[in-house]
Amino acid sequence: MTETPQNLSLQNVCVDYDNQHRALDGLTCSFEPGSFTALVGPSGCGKSTVLRTVAGLIAPSHGEVVGAGDNDTGYVFQEPTLLAWRNVYDNVAMPMRFAGLSASEIDQRVRHALQMVGLQERLDALPRQLSGGMKMRVSLARALANRPRLLLLDEPFAALDEMTRMRLDDDLRDIWQQAKSTVIFVTHSITEAAYLAERVLVMRDDGRLVADLSMPTRQDNNHFRTQASYHAACTTISDALGHNAHDVADSRQTQKATD
């Protein structure tokens, strides 16, 4: 991977839709290079809008995004959005072909990305021959093949069964530790946010940030879900989601989920 982005931040960002609905209202936050941040909040609070704004798909009505670049960003949506008539290899390779990379460079990147997501043996499979979890792995590989410094994921595992989702959460953490990308992960799941992230940003339904929470440092990935620190982190996120504070500035103080 290339160097991680420096000083990625949203500075007093507002996003208005049709001059009638404010999706984000004065959002200010920053993301350290190589960090993993989860973004949680009720439906319609602006989580996906944050990702789209960071990716440059939406222009802020006010404020600015600093430190993000279109060429350095990978985006994984909730649906895998694969071409049904193309095999796994071609689905992963397609964006790089459009970008004009050489055939040898594309081949190296595709094979490496598929190895990272555990699909190196399914190069020739068509999407209809894959499970839902495998399709999401292909979508993730497609983003990783571009070697993004910033990886944005918008509820990519929400439609999957719980066991598949847990396995992909494990895989995503491993991939993040290998790739050293800055990750922003949108989820409705408190347990998923507490498991995946180093830090959790909690939004409320008016498009404002209500809490910035540091997650516990884990000692053992294999048993983290059984540890008291994990359950305490889940409780901290849950409490923040039920928080009704009106002064956002006060709530921006970083809180430790647990020691």
* Three-class SS state of 164: helix
pTM of the entire predicted model:
0.87
Lookup: tokens for 56 = 């440059």
The domain containing residue 248 runs over which residues? 8-84+150-256
- Count of domains forming the chain: 1
Beta-strand (E) ranges in the chain?
8-17, 21-31, 36-40, 62-66, 73-76, 150-154, 182-186, 199-203, 209-214, 254-256
Lookup: tokens for 45 = 């609070």
Residue 78 belongs to domain with CATH number: 3.40.50.300
Q: Are strands 182-186 and 150-154 parallel, antiparallel or unpaired?
A: parallel
115: β partners = none
pLDDT score recorded for residue 67: 82
Mean pLDDT by 10 residues, the chain (259 residues): 62 86 90 95 91 92 82 87 96 92 95 94 95 94 93 92 90 90 94 95 91 86 84 94 48 41
The alpha helices in 23-65, defined as continuous H runs, are 47-55
- 137 domain-assigned: no
- 196 domain-assigned: yes
- 91 domain-assigned: no
